[in-house]
Amino acid sequence: MIRILLADDQAIFRAGTARVLDADVNVSVMGQCDAPAALLDQVAGSRDCVVIVAQSLGVDTDKLLAAAAAVNTRVVLLTETGAEPHAALVRRLDGLLNRQASAADLLACVRRVGNGERAVAATVTTAVDTVAQRMLTVLTPRELQIVGFVVQGWKNRQIAEELGTKEQVVKNYLRSIYDKTGSSDRLELALFTLHHRPLAEAAARACETLQASTA
Q: Over the stretch 13-30, which tens digit does the pLDDT of each residue have?
A: 888 889 889 889 999 999
Q: What residues does 53 pair with on adjacent strands? A: 7, 77
Tell me how far apart the terminal alpha carbons of the chain are, to the nearest angstrom. 41
Rounded to a whole number of angstroms, the CA Rg of the chain reads 18
The model's pTM is 0.64
CA distance 52 to 91: 16
Domain 127-214 in CATH 3.40.50.300? The answer is: no
Q: Over the stretch 107-132, which tens digit does the pLDDT of each residue have?
A: 999 999 999 999 886 444 444 467 88
* CATH class in words for 2-121: alpha beta
Q: Over the stretch 136-164, which tens digit does the pLDDT of each residue have?
A: 999 999 999 999 999 999 999 999 999 99
Mean pLDDT of 186-194: 88
Same fold, 2-121 and 127-214: yes
Write down the domain spans for the chain.
2-121, 127-214
